[in-house]
Amino acid sequence: AFWFDEEIAEDALTIRMRLKSIAVDVASAFQRVQVIETTPFGKTLVLDGKTQSALGDEYIYHETLVHPALTWHRDPRRVYIGGGGELATARECLRHKSVEEVVMVDLDGTVVDVCKEHLPEWNAGSTDDPRLKLEIGDARAYLIDDASGTFDVIVLDISDPIEAGPAVHLYTRDFYELVKRKLRPGGVVVTQAGPGGVFNYGECFTAIHNTLCSSFSRVYAYTTAIPSFGSEWGFCLAYDDDDDDEAASSRRGSFPEGGIRGAAHVDAIDAMLAARLKQPTVLRHYDAETHRRLFSLPKVVRVGLEQETRVITEENPVFMY
């Protein structure tokens, strides 16, 4: 028998999965790209030895990343995706009827091509949707260009901040300040934020949250269990309080007074999904009850978020293992 081992914590914790096959193993200009199949999780995209998403539970990650932000925004029309090579994040954004354009910029064309060919279930036809504009390039450089315009929602589905990895610059305060300038009034940004479990939340999750707090007035941390990652996984959603801005307040969540965790907003989520999505029943993970669980963090993690002092900069990066 063959096995795929992935180290979750250095010299401390490894998960082992029975390996059925290796369909792809190539080196791109930026990273090692593999598509494997394991017994518990099925087809899996692996970059530089780290699981990115697996057929068995990719929907958990992608629904969790996308829908809290798009339901919080009252009328999302233009969405930017940084990264997202599997095209599943685009799939989830395009489920929203109000969305008129999704701009996706991924650095690694090899990853995108491999996923199109070998992981079509992730794509689910999103590349055939005329609302999707797919570009291969640097996600930060694209936003710096004034011609890129502004966005209602920015979704950062980027690689983990691994030392010497291609995405380390996309977790810094300077980058978040750029993101802030590219959001329309009432705009929202959401990013994947690394491991968020009780034993590894301090790796980068709390630092990413604190860095966002240095740029945005409202930042919410949340997590969900993703079995193929071997851990709870962290996400951060952020926006600015601009109640004096009439355009912004008109686009804020339907029930801004309670925030994204407020009962009024949460109680309305199922009705919003039914009204906003082309096929509301297609979601397998996200709904109002799941939303409550996402934002209900264990005490030890909440304390870690409150006590975090690190702010990620180019000069003081933070890496996950």
| Contact status, residue 96 vs residue 160, Cβ threshold 8 Å | no
Q: Which residue is it, tokens 């794509």?
A: 123
Q: How many CB atoms lie within 10 A of CB 39?
A: 13
Which H helix or E strand runs over 105?
strand 101-106
The contacts of residue 149 (CB under 8 Å, 6+ apart) are 78
| Contact status, residue 192 vs residue 158, Cβ threshold 8 Å | yes
Compute the distance between CA of residue 314 and CA of residue 321 in angstroms, rounded to an integer.
Answer: 18
Q: Find, among 106, 6, 114, 99, the residue nearest to 51 by Cα.
A: 6
Q: Find, among 167, 105, 113, the residue nearest to 136 by Cα.
A: 105
| Contact status, residue 260 vs residue 237, Cβ threshold 8 Å | yes
The contacts of residue 302 (CB under 8 Å, 6+ apart) are none
Would residue 157 show up in a list of annotated catalytic residues for this protein? yes
Catalytic residue, from 108, 152, 157, 160: name it.
157
What's 143-211 look like in SS3? HHCHHHCCEEEEEEECCCCCCCCCCHHHHCHHHHHHHHHHEEEEEEEEEEEEECCCCCCCCCHHHHHHH
Q: Find, among 132, 138, 94, the residue nearest to 277 by Cα.
A: 94
What's the length of the chain?
Answer: 321
| Residues identified as active-site | 157
